[in-house]
Amino acid sequence: MTNNLQLNAEGKLKHFLSIEGLSKSLLIEILDTAESFASMSEQQVKKVPLLRGKTIVNLFFENSTRTRTTFELAATRLSADVINMNIATSATSKGESLLDTIRNLEAMFVDMFVVRHALSGAAHFIAQQTAPHISVINAGDGQHAHPTQAMLDMFTIRQLKPDFSSLRVAIIGDILHSRVARSEIQALNTLGAAEVRVIAPKTLLPAHVESLGVSVSHNLTAGLKDIDVVMMLRLQKERMSSALLPSESEYFKCFGLTEEKLKIAKPDAIVMHPGPINRGVEIDSKVANGPQSVILKQVSNGIAVRMAIMAMAMQTAPGKSPVTGAVQ
């Protein structure tokens, strides 16, 4: 059910909610399509008319700068009209339910929702409830998934290391609270990475983490050996309700990525971080700004990948009316 929800009757992308349930070939199609849009960023005119006349609502129930901005840029480069809903000052804070908010926006003839929500499953819920012509893109839901972040990271990795089958990737830090980590693990496994290794203290790992298809290490020094891609995660202070760590400085000492520790990974390893960075907490400034860091490349690629996903989700089946879904 949840798997099919993302695809239309022809097996094409309709909603983009989670990496789970999407085939390797579909992920590759997203990456290939993004490649086309990436070259556009270097052109004098960075705009194409693919989604002209479409209205996209950025529905952010949780704060975001990078994700919302790149979604907005991606939509405007596709010539769509974009509305940014500032939920903190909207009807939700006056007590309106999520479903009522959605119904009201539907009544304004919108075509796509880009949703970020603090609750896991919010984007799924909206996709299930919304009118059939509307597409829903998950821009991060609770601790569940952040699939566009995973795809832009796959895109960035593929630019530099095209062969996933020989790739050893380490994901380091707060796996427990990280929707990014879950989506990355699913994407890497779907694309056939040789190894996905999570490195974290026991308190920041979910129970039975091995069942996600990863190997586990609790020691950064030992864990970085033979690694091609180092993915750092942000220490999510705002989600840390109980005392899972002694202190930030203690964390940096054990799990912070420094130039010294990076030397343990392969010499051509790349360093990634989904942002925002806590310098001196999970990553040393010298590494974040260093030659192996691709952090800003990730941000640029976010635009092309989000363009690809939005364009793919907005294509309607041949011969069908986008509004009623009926054959004309």
Q: What is the C-alpha to C-alpha distance for residues 138 and 148, in angstroms, rounded to an integer?
A: 8
Which of 3, 36, 93, 221: binder of other proteins (CB under 8 A)?
36
Which is the catalytic residue, given 14, 15, 54, 67?
A: 67
* Angle between helix 24-40 and helix 179-190 axes, rounded to 10 deg: 110
Q: Which span (30-38, 138-146, 249-257, 266-274) binds other proteins, by CB under 8 A?
A: 30-38
* Residues in region 220-279 near other proteins by CB under 8 A: none
Site string for other proteins, 64-103 (x = CB under 8 A): ----------------------------------------
Q: Is 318 in the site for other proteins (CB under 8 A)?
A: yes
CA distance 305 to 13: 14
Instruction: Compute CA distances 87 → 83, 84, 127, 135, 276, whole Å.
Output: 12, 9, 19, 20, 21
Q: Which of 12, 33, 66, 161 is catalytic?
A: 66
Q: Which is nearer to other proteins, 127 or 304 (CB)?
A: 304
Q: What is the C-alpha to C-alpha distance for residues 130 and 55, in angstroms, rounded to an integer? A: 15
Residue among 170 and 304 whose Cβ is closer to other proteins? 304
Q: Total residues at the site for other proteins (CB under 8 A)?
A: 25
Site for other proteins in 295-314 (CB under 8 A): 308, 311-312, 314
Closer residue to other proteins (CB): 44 or 89: 44
Contact by Cβ (8 Å): 85, 57: yes
Minimum distance between the CB of residue 158 and other proteins, rounded to whole angstroms? 13
Catalytic member of 14, 144, 146, 182? 146
Spatial CA neighbour of 85 closest among 111, 127, 116, 109: 116
Task: Note every long-range contact of 311-316, with CB atoms under 8 Å and residues 24 or more positions apart, other chains counting.
Answer: 311/33, 311/37, 311/50, 311/51, 311/78, 312/12, 312/13, 312/29, 312/30, 312/33, 313/13, 313/14, 313/15, 313/16, 313/112, 313/135, 313/137, 314/50, 314/51, 314/54, 314/111, 314/112, 314/135, 315/12
What is the C-alpha separation between 12 and 29, in angstroms, rounded?
10
Radius of gyration over every alpha carbon of the chain, rounded to an integer in angstroms: 20
Q: Assign residue 251 a region (left: φ > 0; alpha: ψ between -120 and 50; beta: otherwise).
A: alpha
* Least distance to other proteins, CB of residue 10, Å: 10
Name every residue whose Cβ is closer than 8 Å to that of residue 51 and which is 6 or more positions away in sequence.
75, 78, 79, 80, 310, 311, 314
Is residue 195 involved in binding other proteins (CB under 8 A)? no
User: Between 269 and 314, whose beta carbon lies closer to other proteins?
Assistant: 314
316 near other proteins, rule: CB under 8 A? yes
Question: Does 24 participate in binding other proteins (rule CB under 8 A)?
Answer: no
Q: Is 144 a catalytic residue?
A: no
| 133 catalytically annotated | no
Instruction: Say which of 116, 133, 158, 168 is annotated catalytic.
Output: 116
Measured from the CB atom, is 216 or 317 closer to other proteins? 317
Q: Does 116 participate in catalysis according to the annotation?
A: yes
**Residues 39-58, mask of contacts with other proteins (x by CB under 8 A):** xx-xxxx-xxxx--------
Q: Which of 3, 23, 24, 32 binds other proteins (CB under 8 A)?
A: 32
Give the residue with the Cβ less far from other proteins, 10 or 96. 10
Q: What is the rounded distance in angstroms from the CA atom of residue 226 to the CA atom of residue 220?
A: 12
Out of 5, 21, 33, 213, which residue is the one contacting other proteins (CB under 8 A)? Answer: 33
Q: Is 94 a catalytic residue?
A: yes
Q: Which residues of the chain form contacts with other proteins (CB under 8 A)?
A: 12, 29, 32-33, 35-36, 39-40, 42-45, 47-50, 308, 311-312, 314-316, 318-319, 322
Q: Which sequence positions are flagged as catalytic?
A: 66-67, 94, 116, 146
